[in-house]
A and B are shown apart, each in its own frame.
Chain A
Amino acid sequence: MRKIITIYKKELKDSLRDRRTLFMMIVLPLILIPGIILLMTKVQMAQAKKAMGKEIKVAFIGGDFTPELIQMFAEKGRIQFIKDSPVDSVEILVRRGELDGGVVITSGFNQLVSNDEQGTVRVIFKKSDDAFGVLEKRLISTIEQYDQQIVDKRISRLGLDKNLFNPIDIVKTDVSTTREKLAETAGGFLPYLFILFTFMGAMYPGLDLGAGEKERGTMETILSSPASRLEIVLGKFGVIMTAGIATALISFASLNVAVQLFPEIPVDILDIISSMLGVKMVALILTLIIPIAIFFSAAILSLSIYARSFKEAQSIVTPLNIAIIVPAAIGLTPGMELNKITALIPILNVSLATKEMLSGSINWILLSEVYASLIVLAGFSLWFCVKWFNREETIFRN
């Protein structure tokens, strides 16, 4: 045990003096998480605001048939009417981006409506250019308002009750708490982030303590010392795991700070987020992160030991990113839930279990299944790493 601690302490000191490790472990999560959150939200909000306030250029064909509708559009403002476009060219102009949209009112519209019949209003828009749905909302909502006005007039003229046409009053009662709603939307993203940061944090020390050591020729120094192979592996592995977990914790803290800094979040939601990212929750999520960090550390160290150089190790370990991102990303899919099968799939199970923990609806039986599968995976990967390190063909592959 003494030798393991000696190796651990030395490797930790060595890693903390490595700028790349420090950057991946501390600087990146500290800057990246608040940076991404603040930047993305600010940009998105600014874009939405800009889109809402923008004056739209809309071709009106047959506006003479319904001056009331034209009046309603005019009252809403921020709209430029283009009246001279030929009907056939509106679609083309919208597709080209020369117009934002088009409203085509069929001839005899007024006559049809006056006769209690149905008239057609065609709305032309390009959804792919309307990221926030502003155009669609502004055009269609005004037409729907106009539609409702006509219906109301017809009902009152006929002296009928409005409820005649609305026999069912649908009252929606959503029993999910704000916390559950938040967990459903952001809950998938958080574990994805933590899994990724655990891996990223473990990656550089992993590469350096295996392949880097081989490249520098220091592997022989340590192999000829009284430390056994098992002690060497455990010392190195401990540092890699520490780096992975530390990075995940730093990203937690960083996220917490980022959320507090964000002024647009209402206080009640902020309280819920704070409780979601509180010490108790962090401790609970950490119980999932630790076994996954063991797995990552053992896998990275095994690959790193196998490589002849740091560069080769990088090229071997980098594709592993995909193997981690894919199951973590599947966890983001709406409707994806923790069940008997998904609880056994590594990484995906961490992602889904974290989501459940955040929403506060934990199925303890499934959670124990997740723990069991993670412990087996962690144990196996560590056993493999030790065995791998004992192979002469691995250590002296050169």
Chain B
Amino acid sequence: MIQVQNLVKDFKLTRKIRKEMGEEFKNRKTLRAVDKISFTCHPGRIFALLGPNGAGKTTTLRMIATMLKPTSGTIEVGGYDCQKNPQKIREKIGFMTGQTALYDRLTPYEMVKYIADLHEMDSSVFESRKDKIFEMLKIHEFANRRIARLSSGMKQKTSIARTIIHDPDVMVFDEPTTGLDVMTSRAIIKLIRSCKDEGKTVIFSSHRMGEVNQVCDDMAIIYKGSLFFNGGLDKFKSEMTHETFEDEFIHMVGEA
């Protein structure tokens, strides 16, 4: 489970950034990327964080993954506080982005083994889990080829394998389908669904309304760091005053 309470994240603004951002930020020393947001993601359910670019989705997910420290507020992942036990949280999560984020000079086998070693997985456990995942994703045929020489589909499969090799309880997907072709996007969506079926806690961010509608159980709409909606997908649909997700979203944030 992920519990986020009154989460705030301020970024320091350097003089150069202030200048680039224009008059509005001229005298501001910080930029609030996330502003007092709260939500809960439950095991066996898919939680979507929906918002346009720059809304604060990635910052929120990075705080959940303990890459960034909150300015205030709390995050608990699997019962561990992100400030007090960041390492325990990182042991429990699998983090994946739209970028494959792989080492080009390694092979898929070496890449997955590296992550498994960082999780200090027992070698026999690793071998059986690796075989299962490689079989499922059909990685065996290119497992010993350098990643640089793989197609984008093969790379994405490798990226999935390295994310789930340690069998994490919590899956964090940061815009996982951005920039991917239809086939690869479908594979990712399939992975998200299978994680749910396995009873994992899944949170994913997206700016695509259709995608959210397709997979999520619960959702939060974030815009300029603030939450505009937090609840079940069914509740959102029932409260919609516009025909499409897009129109509803624009209507919602347009009021802000």
Q: Which of B220-238 contact A (CB under 8 A)?
A: none
- Chain B neighbourhood of A221, CB < 8 A: 95, 101-102, 115, 162
Q: Which of A1-27 contact B (CB under 8 A)?
A: 2-3, 6-7, 10, 13-14, 17-18
Q: Mark the stretch among A222-230, A261-269, A270-278, A328-336 that contacts chain B.
A: A222-230
- Chain B neighbourhood of A7, CB < 8 A: 118
Interchain CB contact (< 8 A) of B101 among A13, A220, A392: A220
Cross-chain contact B90 with A14 (CB below 8 angstroms): no
Cross-chain contact B67 with A10 (CB below 8 angstroms): no
The number of chain B residues touching the other chain, given as a range, is 20 to 34
Rounded to whole angstroms, the CA-CA distance of A2 and B117 in the bound complex is 9
From A2, A223, A393, A395, residue with most partner B Cβ within 10 Å: A223
Quick check: is B97 within 8 A (CB to CB) of the other chain? yes
- Chain B neighbourhood of A368, CB < 8 A: none
Of all chain B residues, the one with the shortest Cβ separation from A221 is B101
Cross-chain contact B119 with A10 (CB below 8 angstroms): no
Cross-chain contact B106 with A14 (CB below 8 angstroms): yes
Q: Which of B99-120 contact A (CB under 8 A)?
A: 99-106, 110, 114-115, 117-120
Cross-chain contact B105 with A18 (CB below 8 angstroms): yes
Given known pairs A18-B105, A225-B115, A393-B12, the reply for A220 and B97 (CB within 8 Å) is yes
Cross-chain contact A217 with B117 (CB below 8 angstroms): no
- Chain B neighbourhood of A223, CB < 8 A: 65, 67
Of all chain A residues, the one with the shortest Cβ separation from B106 is A14
- Chain B neighbourhood of A226, CB < 8 A: 87, 90-91, 118-120
Quick check: is A218 within 8 A (CB to CB) of the other chain? yes
Cross-chain contact A220 with B67 (CB below 8 angstroms): yes
Cross-chain contact B101 with A6 (CB below 8 angstroms): no
Cross-chain contact B68 with A396 (CB below 8 angstroms): yes
Quick check: is A216 within 8 A (CB to CB) of the other chain? yes
- Chain B neighbourhood of A10, CB < 8 A: 103, 106, 110, 114, 117
Cross-chain contact A227 with B101 (CB below 8 angstroms): no
Min CB–CB distance B22 → chain A (angstroms): 19
From B68, B69, B103, B119, residue with most partner A Cβ within 10 Å: B103
Q: Which of A238-272 contact B (CB under 8 A)?
A: none
Rounded to whole angstroms, the CA-CA distance of A78 and B200 in the bound complex is 94
- Chain A neighbourhood of B100, CB < 8 A: 217
From A2, A221, A223, residue with most partner B Cβ within 10 Å: A221
Rounded to whole angstroms, the CA-CA distance of A221 and B96 in the bound complex is 8
Cross-chain contact B104 with A216 (CB below 8 angstroms): yes
Quick check: is B93 within 8 A (CB to CB) of the other chain? yes
Rounded to whole angstroms, the CA-CA distance of A170 and B185 in the bound complex is 92
Given known pairs A2-B120, A6-B114, A393-B12, the reply for A224 and B104 (CB within 8 Å) is no
- Chain B neighbourhood of A392, CB < 8 A: 11, 68-69
Cross-chain contact B105 with A14 (CB below 8 angstroms): yes
Min CB–CB distance B99 → chain A (angstroms): 4
Cross-chain contact B101 with A228 (CB below 8 angstroms): no
- Chain A neighbourhood of B91, CB < 8 A: 226
Rounded to whole angstroms, the CA-CA distance of A218 and B119 in the bound complex is 17
Rounded to whole angstroms, the CA-CA distance of A198 and B95 in the bound complex is 37
Of all chain B residues, the one with the shortest Cβ separation from A235 is B118
The number of chain A residues touching the other chain, given as a range, is 20 to 34
Min CB–CB distance B134 → chain A (angstroms): 19
- Chain A neighbourhood of B119, CB < 8 A: 225-226
Cross-chain contact A13 with B67 (CB below 8 angstroms): no
Rounded to whole angstroms, the CA-CA distance of A227 and B97 in the bound complex is 19
Rounded to whole angstroms, the CA-CA distance of A90 and B120 in the bound complex is 85
Rounded to whole angstroms, the CA-CA distance of A7 and B100 in the bound complex is 19
- Chain A neighbourhood of B68, CB < 8 A: 392, 396
Min CB–CB distance A307 → chain B (angstroms): 15
Question: What are the interface flags for B61-104 relative to A under an 8 Å C-beta threshold, 1 for contact and 0 otherwise?
Answer: 01001111100000000000000000100110101010111111
- Chain A neighbourhood of B117, CB < 8 A: 6, 10
Rounded to whole angstroms, the CA-CA distance of A221 and B155 in the bound complex is 14
Cross-chain contact A217 with B106 (CB below 8 angstroms): no
- Chain B neighbourhood of A6, CB < 8 A: 114, 117-118
- Chain B neighbourhood of A225, CB < 8 A: 90, 115, 118-119
- Chain B neighbourhood of A218, CB < 8 A: 101-103
Of all chain A residues, the one with the shortest Cβ separation from B66 is A224
- Chain A neighbourhood of B120, CB < 8 A: 2-3, 226
Interchain CB contact (< 8 A) of B93 among A2, A3, A17, A224: A224
Min CB–CB distance B79 → chain A (angstroms): 16
Min CB–CB distance B51 → chain A (angstroms): 19
Of all chain B residues, the one with the shortest Cβ separation from A14 is B105
Cross-chain contact B105 with A17 (CB below 8 angstroms): yes
Rounded to whole angstroms, the CA-CA distance of A223 and B87 in the bound complex is 10
Min CB–CB distance A208 → chain B (angstroms): 10
From A3, A222, A224, A228, residue with most partner B Cβ within 10 Å: A224
Min CB–CB distance B92 → chain A (angstroms): 9
- Chain B neighbourhood of A393, CB < 8 A: 11-12
Min CB–CB distance A389 → chain B (angstroms): 12
Of all chain B residues, the one with the shortest Cβ separation from A15 is B105
Cross-chain contact B101 with A216 (CB below 8 angstroms): yes
Rounded to whole angstroms, the CA-CA distance of A6 and B119 in the bound complex is 10
Of all chain A residues, the one with the shortest Cβ separation from B94 is A224
Rounded to whole angstroms, the CA-CA distance of A336 and B68 in the bound complex is 50
Rounded to whole angstroms, the CA-CA distance of A386 and B238 in the bound complex is 51
Cross-chain contact A217 with B90 (CB below 8 angstroms): no
- Chain B neighbourhood of A396, CB < 8 A: 62, 67-68
Interface residues of B (CB under 8 A from A): 11-12, 62, 65-69, 87, 90-91, 93, 95, 97, 99-106, 110, 114-115, 117-120, 146, 162, 172
Question: Could you show 5 A-B contacts with beta carbons less than 8 Å apart?
Answer: A6-B117, A7-B118, A10-B110, A221-B102, A225-B90
9 A-B pairs with least C-beta separation: A224-B95, A217-B99, A17-B105, A6-B117, A225-B118, A217-B101, A221-B101, A224-B65, A226-B91
